[in-house]
Structure 1
Amino acid sequence: MGINDERDIEANLQIGPTELGMVRLFIEGDGIEIPMDFTPDEAHEIAEEIMAAATRARQSGGKKRR
C-alpha cells in the first residue's frame, strides 16, 4: 500500500496543543486511536511539508476523488 493507493476507510483527524507543550495529531477511525506528539519545531516542519505537497497537488491539476 502506497501513498497513491486509494482505500475506503474513514478517519477523523484532530490537531492541537497538549498540556506538555507538544503538538498532537490525533487520528481516530474504525476502532483505532493514534495519538502522535511532536515538538513545535517538528510540527512546523510537518506543516511545511503539507503546504509543499498541497502546492504540488494544485500544480498537477488537483484532481478530485470520485
Structure 2
Amino acid sequence: MGINTEKDVEANLQIGPTDLGMVRIFIEANGVEIPMDFEPEEAQEIAEEILAAAKAAKATK
C-alpha cells in the first residue's frame, strides 16, 4: 500500500496537547487505536509538512 493507493476505511482523528506537554495525534480505525505523541517542535514540523502537501495537492488540480 502506498500513498496513492485508495482504501475504503473510515477513521477518526484527534489532535491535541497532553498534560505532559506533548502533542498527541490519536487515530482510531476498525477498533484499533493508535496514539502518537510528539514534542512540540516535532509537531510543528509535521504541521509544516501537511501544509506543504496541501499546497502541492492544490497545484495538481
Cα distance in 2, alignment partners of residues 53 and 29 from structure 1: 23
Aligned residues: 61
Specify the SS of the correspondent of 2:2.
coil
**Moved runs in structure 1, 4+ residues, more than 6 A?**
none
Specify the SS of the correspondent of 2:14.
strand
Determine the structure 2 residue equivalent to 1:16: 16
Provide the alpha-carbon RMSD of the alignment: 0.3
State the TM-score, normalizing by the size of structure 1.
0.91
Specify the SS of the correspondent of 1:10.
coil
Q: Percent identity?
A: 70
Specify the SS of the correspondent of 1:7.
coil
Q: Which amino acid aligns with 1:16?
A: G
Matches within 5 A, 1:1-66: 1-61=1-61
- In structure 2, runs of 5+ residues without a counterpart are none
